[in-house]
Amino acid sequence: MLFLYKEVLGIDLTNENIQALRAQERKHIPVVLTKDEVRKVIENIEGIYNLVVMLMYGCGLRMSEVLSLRIKDIDFGFNKVYIWDSKSLKDRTIPLPIKLKQKLSIQIETVSDIHKKDLEEGYGTVFMPFALEKKYPNSKKDTKWQFLFPMTKVSKDPRSEEIRRHHIHPKTLGRNISKAAKKANIFKKISSHTFRHSYATHLLQYGTDIRSIQELLGHKSIETTMIYTHVVKELNKDEIKSPLDF
């Protein structure tokens, strides 16, 4: 309203002593799992979803980021995972969990075999981002561009009408996470993003500085990352005892 009067209507309200305050956005403390709870969920999730969740937690990835990974994005030489054009529109690299190197290597071999079979059956193309299909028309059949976590079946791409293999559906991953949490008897409200929250919180508890965590998560603003300092502060309230326990 002050902006309207000053900038649009040209009425100066400086001397009116209007003490207006901006409405504050409500801040929610994210749900975080303990290390033991993360382990229990991973132990109870089956199939390829086990590796997906381990990678989400191990690298702090969003669901869209982990599902969009291509074979070329895993760098075993430098132990890095490359995230291209993430939500913050800023590419970044994340340390690859050493524990996952063998599993990811086996997964890449499996995807390569699936891709070879698709090519033999007349399929084998993959969706290419950022109009790269026009710039590099043959790349859509390259093994390195195939999704790291593909669907079990090929399907028709509504954009191009081509029969191709897309990545795992987000809803399918979400259902498997919920099922695993239920099996593990964890009653917190868990989603795929919970593992990203847990990754950041556990790094902070381990002593990683907040700026490094900001870069790893790909946050534009440090304010977004600062929520995890509040989470750790809340978790440290365990030292404060309830008077009922006296």
Q: Return mean pLDDT, the chain.
A: 90
Where does the pLDDT of residue 89 fall: very low under 50, low under 70, confident under 90, or very high at 90 and above?
Answer: low
| Residue of 70, 196, 197, 202 marked active site | 196
Q: What's the pLDDT tens digit per position in 170-229?
A: 999 999 999 999 999 999 999 999 999 999 999 999 999 999 999 999 998 898 899 898
Q: What is the 3-state secondary structure (H, E, C) of 121-142?
A: CCCCCCCCCCCHHHHCCCHHHC
How does residue 87 score in pLDDT terms, banded at 50, 70 and 90?
low
Longest dimension (CA), the chain: 78
* pTM of structure: 0.83
Q: Is 193 one of the catalytic residues?
A: yes
Q: 10 Å Cβ neighbour count for 235?
A: 14
Catalytic residue among 6, 39, 87, 175: 87
Name the β-bridge partners of 75.
Answer: 80
Q: Which of 40, 49, 62, 164 is catalytic?
A: 62
pLDDT digits (tens, 9 = 90+) for 2-12: 888 888 998 88
Tell me, yes or no, if 62 is annotated catalytic.
yes
Nearest alpha-carbon partner for 31 in 194, 179, 202: 194
- Confirm whether 219 is a catalytic residue: yes
Averaged pLDDT, 127-140:
82
What is the pLDDT, as a whole number, of residue 180?
A: 97
Per-residue confidence (pLDDT) for residue 157, from 0 to 100: 87
| Distances from the Cα of 243 to the Cα of 240, 246, angstroms | 9, 5
Q: What domains lie within the chain, and their CATH numbers?
A: 35-113+170-233 (1.10.443.10)
Is there a catalytic annotation at residue 196? Answer: yes
